[in-house]
Amino acid sequence: MYRNDIVRIGRKPVMVYVTAVLTCVAGYHKVIIQARGQSISKAVDVAEITRKKFLKDLRVDGITIDTETMKGDDGRPVGVSTIEIELSKP
């Protein structure tokens, strides 16, 4: 099922995702930022910019890292790191 409280980080500029996180928090008081591979750095940037510049009372509830197995270009399975950052507003 599509969940409205998840923001998936991709190739768009950081501020696009910061806006998505702010919208999410306004509606649900919490948000989960998900990213994998090279987007993991951007996910941390999004969480930090939102917390430090926009919503100073936003709390990091938990951060989990994992590995997802995907099909590589040659068809063989490759592991890709993932991150989930849970934020909530008291």
* Positions in the binding site for its own copies (CB under 8 A): 37-41, 44-45, 47-49, 52, 60, 63-67, 79, 81, 83, 85
* Of residues 20 and 50, the one with the C-beta less far from its own copies: 50
Q: How far is the CB of 54 from its own copies (least distance, A)?
A: 13
* Of residues 24 and 40, the one with the C-beta less far from its own copies: 40
DSSP string, 66-80: EEEEEE-TTSSEEEE
Pull the structure tokens for residue 90: 């008291």
Q: How far is the CB of 2 from its own copies (least distance, A)?
A: 26
Q: How far is the CB of 19 from its own copies (least distance, A)?
A: 18
> Which residues are within 8 A (CB) of 2 and not within 5 positions of it... i.e. 6 or more apart?
none
* Of residues 10 and 66, the one with the C-beta less far from its own copies: 66
User: Beta-carbon neighbour count of residue 89 at 10 Å?
Assistant: 13
Residue pair 55/41 in contact by the 8 Å Cβ criterion = no
Pull the structure tokens for residue 43: 């996910």
Q: How far is the CB of 80 from its own copies (least distance, A)?
A: 9
